[in-house]
């Protein structure tokens, strides 16, 4: 057992990115069982190279005390990205177990004003790293793709947004390309600090049914979907002088309906094409 521990730790230390890819490709329970023999710091050193959603799933399989040790050992950027993946109760429990200085730092970083893009974005959208092959990406979508959308955002292992690919691109491409070679890196984003009026009046809603949210350093917060605007409409109704909010939302709904029809047609056609190719 001692030898296995040293071999595993040695591999993680020498090949952290490869180790992260391997852990991401495993089931979260299997990865948790593999890691729980290590210390919190040792686990953190490799999980920092995993995407936040993968890290959160793996941490969910670890004992509570070890989970807190791992988050404490992470750098603040990685820890914030991971904490955003948990529900409120789990996040609160984790923060309570952290020491005062670390806990306070993370609480401040997580605190965006209500009804800003940073507070409204869904942090649990499916994402991919740029350095895996298309076949691996498809495998991950099949396994963990419950939150996958037509647009799939590509983020690096520091949590920074790199680009976007469509589900259609991934399904049609049968080459040995990596995700990074397919992605579009000219990305339309929402600032995490954007207020309700700025969100609603963003001109790109006429082109996209979902927009990614990033902070001023390019850190990916999640995505804001059109349907969230319906909730925003209820939040601001009669409370804020946002001008013709209802008119804006009606125009967006029309645009979204058209986009949705085209999206479903594209996906159906794509699945048919891939079936014929294989």
Q: Is 184 helix (H, G, I), strand (E, B) or coil?
A: strand
Digit-coded pLDDT (tens) for 217-236: 888 888 888 766 666 665 55
CA angle in degrees (0–180, nearest 5) for 194-213-115 = 40
Roughly how many angstroms between the first and final C-alpha of the chain, as a whole number? Answer: 44
Integer Cα distance of 198 and 202 in angstroms: 6
Three-class secondary structure assignment of 127-161: EECCCCEHHHHHHHHHHHHHHCCCEEEEECCCCEE
Domains and CATH numbers, the chain: 2-111 (1.10.220), 120-277 (3.10.580.10)
Q: How far is Cα 44 from Cα 66, in angstroms, rounded to an integer?
A: 10
Give the DSSP H or E segment for 210. strand 210-214
User: pLDDT digits over 81-128, tens only?
Assistant: 889 889 888 988 898 888 766 777 678 667 777 678 888 888 778 899
Confidence of residue 164 (pLDDT cuts 50, 70, 90): very high
Among 12-21, 80-89, 231-240, the least confident range: 231-240
Asked if the model's pLDDT at residue 20 lies above 80, the reply is yes
Q: What are the angstrom distances between the C-alpha of 57 and each of 2, 9, 50, 128, 173?
A: 27, 21, 11, 15, 28
C-alpha–C-alpha distance, residues 22 and 50, integer Å: 10
* Band of pLDDT at residue 276, cut at 50, 70 and 90: low
Q: Average pLDDT, whole number, for the chain? A: 79
pTM for this predicted structure: 0.63
Q: Is the pLDDT of residue 185 over 60?
A: yes
Contact 156/213 with Cβ under 8 angstroms?
Answer: no
Element containing residue 223 per DSSP (H, E):
strand 220-225
pLDDT confidence of residue 236: 58
User: Which long-range contacts does 234-242 make (Cβ < 8 Å, 24+ apart)?
Assistant: 235/115, 235/196, 236/115, 236/196, 240/196, 240/197, 242/196, 242/197, 242/200
pLDDT for position 179: 94
**The Cα angle at residue 45 between residues 40 and 50, in degrees rounded to 5:** 110
The average pLDDT across 146-160 equals 85
Distances (CA, A) of 97 to 39, 47, 52, 87, 89: 16, 19, 20, 16, 13
pLDDT at 61 over 90: yes
160 close to 81: Cβ distance less than 8 angstroms: no
pLDDT in tens, 35-60: 988 899 999 999 988 888 889 999 99
Q: Is the dihedral of CA 217, 218, 222, 224 positive or negative?
A: positive
Q: Of 157-171, 200-214, 256-270, give the lowest mean pLDDT range.
A: 256-270
Given a contact cutoff of 8 angstroms between Cβ atoms, the answer to whether 256 and 208 are in contact is no
Q: What is the pLDDT of residues 197-217, one digit of tens each?
A: 888 888 888 888 889 999 888
What is the reported pLDDT for 273?
A: 54
**Residues 138, 177 contacting (CB under 8 angstroms):** no
Q: How far apart are CA 87 and CA 95, in angstroms?
A: 12
């Amino acid at each position: 057992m001692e030898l296995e521990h040293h071999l595993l730790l040695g591999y993680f230390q020498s090949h952290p990115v490869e180790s992260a890819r391997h852990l991401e490709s495993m089931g979260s329970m299997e990865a948790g069982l593999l890691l729980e023999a290590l210390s919190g710091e040792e686990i953190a050193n490799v999980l920092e190279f995993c995407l936040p959603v993968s890290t959160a799933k793996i941490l969910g399989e670890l004992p509570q005390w070890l989970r807190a040790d791992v988050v404490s050992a992470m750098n603040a950027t990685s820890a914030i990205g991971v904490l955003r993946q948990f529900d409120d109760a789990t996040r609160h429990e984790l923060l309570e177990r952290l020491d005062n200085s670390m806990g306070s730092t993370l609480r401040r970083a997580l605190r965006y004003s209500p009804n800003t893009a940073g507070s409204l974005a869904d942090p649990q959208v499916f994402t991919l790293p740029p350095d895996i092959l298309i076949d691996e990406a498809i495998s991950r979508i099949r396994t963990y793709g419950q939150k996958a959308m037509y647009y799939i955002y590509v983020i690096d292992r520091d949590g920074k947004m790199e680009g976007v690919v469509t589900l259609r691109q991934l399904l049609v491409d049968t080459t040995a390309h990596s995700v990074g070679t397919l992605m579009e890196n000219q990305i339309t984003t929402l600032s995490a600090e954007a207020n309700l009026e700025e969100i609603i009046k963003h001109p790109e809603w006429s082109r996209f049914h979902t927009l990614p949210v990033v902070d001023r350093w390019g850190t990916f917060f999640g995505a804001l979907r059109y349907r969230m605007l319906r909730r925003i409409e209820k939040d601001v109704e009669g409370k804020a002088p946002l001008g013709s909010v209802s008119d804006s939302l009606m125009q967006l709904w029309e645009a979204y309906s058209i986009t949705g029809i085209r999206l479903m047609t594209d996906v159906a056609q794509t699945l048919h094409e891939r079936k014929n190719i294989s």
